[in-house]
Amino acid sequence: MSFELDNLSPQTKAFLSRRATGTGLLVDGQWLAAAAGQTFATIDPGSGLEIGQIPAADTTQVDAAVAAARAAQKGWAATVPAERARILWKIADLIEAHIDELAELETLDQGKPLFVGRWAEIPGAAAQFRFFAGQAMAIEGSTLESSINYQPQGKQMRTWTVREAVGVVAAIVPWNSPLVLTAMKLAPALAAGCTVVLKPAEDTSLTAMRLVELMIEAGVPNGVINLITGLGAQTGAALANHPGVDKIAFTGSTATGRAVLDAAKTNFKRVTLELGGKSPSIVMPDADLSLAIPGVANAIFFNGGQVCIAGSRLYVHRSIHDQVVEGVAAYAKGLKVGHGLSPDTQMGPVVSARHAERVEGFLNRAKADGATMLTGGERFGASGAFIQPTVVVDVKPDMEIVREEVFGPVLVAQAFDDAEEVIAAANDSEYGLAASVWTEGFSNAHRMSSAIKAGTVWINCHAMYDASLAIGGVKQSGWGRDSGKQALDNYLEWKTVCAVV
């Protein structure tokens, strides 16, 4: 598990010495240090080593970033859609041109295995910018035949609607998939003509800085994108509460989502909230187990379970329960866990030592509640934030480990006897983000996808996403959707025009 920072590529080293030295704030096109010089360390979770220093922006810099975004907004919204689209497309090209560097940075900062960034998340970020380049040129209002009977002096009443940019957007993102989740907010916001103040998570600011460099290279004008790093409770809260912000686009935990909602109400900011999940994977008795066993394992162990849509609750029909659960446990035992930059690593550390302690706390409380660790259940390694891939059995529906989002490589397995029972169990959660159903039967697929309360239901697959598909949840998993053409609506207002002409 040992890894030397000296092994990093020359591009990554150059970036770190340029930006991870406390000079990573971007306000109105200028790279800045924190006003009062405060910085905090960003740590490689695979080795525990410090990677660099990140500036902690104070309220004066949050003010300056919001003011820059405000000053730039009219001009950006007036830029013709084809020009906004050209710039967004160029950003996608630049992301792809720097894919290896971005993947390395993401792994270094977040811990994920290199292949996750290289083959899924960084291409996924580029795809968001391309998709919304197209959407920028497809914004449309409508004309309406109203029934207003007012025609003075032979004139006519004409009514139509136009879409207008919401204004200044605060984009607040979490640490689990930093670049792609950032792209999901920036691409539609810029396509719509909004300007942005971006606040990455304190554990993972690096790819946000590199992305913003690439955005400037692509021609994004000064003030249209601003980057504010810092701690959530200070910098994040100052941004969310700022009266100059028109809309908050938030992804993060349900608890922080509540604080953001409170902040939004001060000036009735528009708000979208992509929050937590405790998504079920359901294996029906007619499932193809050659797909289902690796599928449900991958649904939880991909990215170390630090995926909002992770399949963290497994429900298996009693007739095949032991076969499936033992198969998933064997898969877990076979995973090569190590530093994300080691080429053979299949699962990396969790994001930080603090988060590893949090996950460990869930595991210890589950053991105390009487649950059994079929495999895993411990932290390990002398350095780094490593948790064993874990399968938990002998649980009851009201246990914390069944109900709360652990956000780590921890799967909780339960048996069921019939479809009605498993639908009720799947829906017995305060969350409603996603679900997967594993079945060869069309009726099962149709019935379950309709009965499960979730933003996305996958059949015989899990966590498949694409820039064209909306992501988001019901219940306490949030408000609104990111990605897909539905996301553009988050950044546009409707204006109705009634004219006597």
- Binding ligand NAD (rule: CB under 6 A), the pick from 111, 280, 340, 478 is 478
Q: Which parts of 396-435 interact with ligand NAD (CB under 6 A)?
A: 405, 407, 433
Q: Please report how close the Cβ of residue 376 comes to ligand NAD at its closest, in angstroms.
A: 21
Q: How far is the CB of 39 from ligand NAD (least distance, A)?
A: 15
Determine, following the binding rule CB under 6 A, whether residue 274 of this chain makes contact with ligand NAD. Answer: yes
Strands 225-227 and 195-199: parallel
Size of the site for ligand NAD (CB under 6 A): 32
Please give the sequence-ordered ranges of beta strands (E in DSSP) within 19-106, or none if there are none: 25-27, 30-32, 39-43, 50-55
Give the residue, chosen from 185, 199, 278, 481, that forms a contact with ligand NAD under the rule CB under 6 A. Answer: 199
Contacts of 472 (CB under 8 A, 6+ apart): 272, 274, 433, 455, 478, 479, 480, 481, 482
Which residues, numbered 283-322, are part of the site for ligand NAD (CB under 6 A)? Answer: 308
Determine the 3-state secondary structure of 56 from DSSP: coil
Q: Does 260 bind ligand NAD (CB under 6 A)?
A: yes
User: Could you give the CA distance from residue 274 to residue 308 in angstroms, rounded to a whole number?
Assistant: 9
* Of 127 and 172, CB closest to ligand NAD: 172
CB 390 to ligand NAD: min, Å: 18
Q: Which of 252, 311, 349, 409 contacts ligand NAD by CB under 6 A? A: 252
Give 473 or 484: the residue with its C-beta nearer to ligand NAD: 473
**Among residues 193 and 277, whose Cβ is nearest to ligand NAD?**
277
Phi-psi region of 169 (alpha: psi -120 to 50; beta: other; left: phi over 0): beta
Residue 227's SS3 state is strand
- Which residue is it, tokens 């009219």? 74
Rounded to an integer, what distance in angstroms lies between the CA atom of residue 273 and that of residue 250?
5
Q: Is 194 helix (H, G, I), strand (E, B) or coil?
A: coil
Options 55-63, 66-74, 293-301, 469-477: segment touching ligand NAD (CB under 6 A): 469-477
Residues 135-174 within binding reach of ligand NAD (CB under 6 A): 172-174
CB atoms within 10 A of CB 468: 11
Of the residues 32, 116, 259, 492, which one makes contact with ligand NAD according to CB under 6 A: 259
AA identity, residue 401: I
* Residue 143 host element (H or E): strand 142-144
Candidates 32-40, 75-83, 92-100, 271-279 — which segment interacts with ligand NAD by CB under 6 A? Answer: 271-279
Of positions 201, 206, 297, 316, contacts ligand NAD by CB under 6 A: 201
Q: Residue from 45, 46, 277, 340 that binds ligand NAD (CB under 6 A)?
A: 277
The CA–CA distances, whole Å, from 385 to 72, 357, 380 equal 42, 8, 8
**How many Cα atoms within 13 Å fall on the side-chain side of residue 35?**
12
Amino acid letter, 353: A
State the minimum distance, in angstroms, from the CB of residue 250 to ligand NAD: 7
- What are the start-end ranges of the E strands in 284-398? 311-317, 372-375, 379-380, 386-387, 390-393
352 vs 439 by CB, closer to ligand NAD: 352
Identify which of residues 73 and 483 has a Cβ nearer to ligand NAD in the complex: 483
> How many other CB atoms are found less than 10 A from the CB of residue 200?
30
Alpha-carbon span 132 to 182, nearest angstrom? 13
Annotated catalytic residues are: 274, 308
The correct pick among 59, 159, 222, 253 for binding ligand NAD (CB under 6 A) is 253
Q: Rounded to an integer, what distance in angstroms lies between the CA atom of residue 486 and that of residue 455?
A: 13
What one-character DSSP code corresponds to residue 71? Answer: H
Residue of the chain from 3, 15, 89, 175 that contacts ligand NAD (CB under 6 A): 175
CB of 275 to ligand NAD, least distance (A): 5
- Which residue is closest to ligand NAD by CB? 232
CB of 144 vs ligand NAD, minimal distance in Å: 35
Distance CA 352, CA 147 (A): 61
Compute the least distance from the CB of residue 443 to ligand NAD, in Å.
30
Closest contact distance (angstroms) between CB of 277 and ligand NAD is 5
Binding of residue 176 to ligand NAD (CB under 6 A): yes
Contacts with 148 (C-beta within 8 Å, 6 or more apart), sequence order: 157, 159, 498
Q: How many Å apart are CA 54 and CA 352, to the nearest integer? A: 16
| Choice between 113 and 232, CB closer to ligand NAD | 232
Q: Are 212 and 238 in contact (CB under 8 A)?
A: no
240 near ligand NAD (CB under 6 A)? yes
Among 226, 256, 390, 444, binds ligand NAD (CB under 6 A): 256
Classify residue 176 as left (phi > 0), alpha (psi -120 to 50) or beta.
Answer: alpha
- Give me the least distance between CB of 476 and ligand NAD, in Å please: 10
Residue 124: φ, ψ to 5°: -65, -35
Of 135-143, 228-236, 379-387, 485-493, which segment contacts ligand NAD by CB under 6 A? Answer: 228-236
Residue ranges that bind ligand NAD, judged by CB under 6 A: 172-176, 181, 199, 201-202, 232-233, 236-237, 240, 251-253, 256, 259-260, 274-277, 308, 405, 407, 433, 471, 473, 477-478
